Amino acid sequence: MKKILVVDDEENIRLLYKEELEEEGYTVDVAINGQEALDKMNTFKPDLITLDIKMPGMDGVETLRRIREVQRNLPVILCSAYGEYKQDLTTWASDAYVIKTSDLNELKGTIRILLLND
C-alpha cells in the first residue's frame, strides 16, 4: 500500500485529505509544518508528499528544497489556494501543482499518475 504524507498548517485540510486519500486505499500521515514533514520522512517513509506553500515558519518552497536535498526522486505535489505561485520558478522543482478546492478529483488524479510512474 502506497504511503502519502500530507503537509498543511490548516487542520481542516489535513483531515479532509487524510480521510479522502485513505478512502482511495492509501496509508496517510499528516504534518502541521515543514519541519515536522522533514522529521516524518525518516520514520513514515512516504511514497508521495502533498505540500502546502503558505505555512508559518518554513514555507512549502523551502520545505521542497530540503526534501530534494535528501530524496531527489520523491514525488511532491504543491497544493495552494493561490494560483499565482504556479508561475513562480521556485515551485517548478515540484512534480505537480494543484490549486486547493473542496473537489479533490484533480489531486487524486495527479496522485494516481505520479504513483504509477513511481
Q: List, for residues 21-68, the tens digit of each pLDDT value.
A: 999 999 999 999 999 999 999 999 999 999 999 899 999 989 999 999
Q: Please determine, for residue 83, whether its predicted confidence score (pLDDT) is greater than 90.
A: no
Q: 85 or 21, which is more confident?
A: 21
Is the distance from CB of 107 to CB of 98 less than 8 angstroms? yes
Over the chain, what is the mean pLDDT?
89
The C-alpha atoms of residue 53 and residue 63 are separated, in whole angstroms, by 9
**pTM to 2 decimals?**
0.91
Q: Please determine, for residue 93, whether its predicted confidence score (pLDDT) is greater than 70.
A: no
The C-alpha atoms of residue 117 and residue 115 are separated, in whole angstroms, by 5
Is the distance from CB of 7 to CB of 34 less than 8 angstroms? yes
CATH topology classification for 3-116: Rossmann fold (3.40.50)
Q: What angle do CA 62, 64, 70 make, to 5 degrees?
A: 110
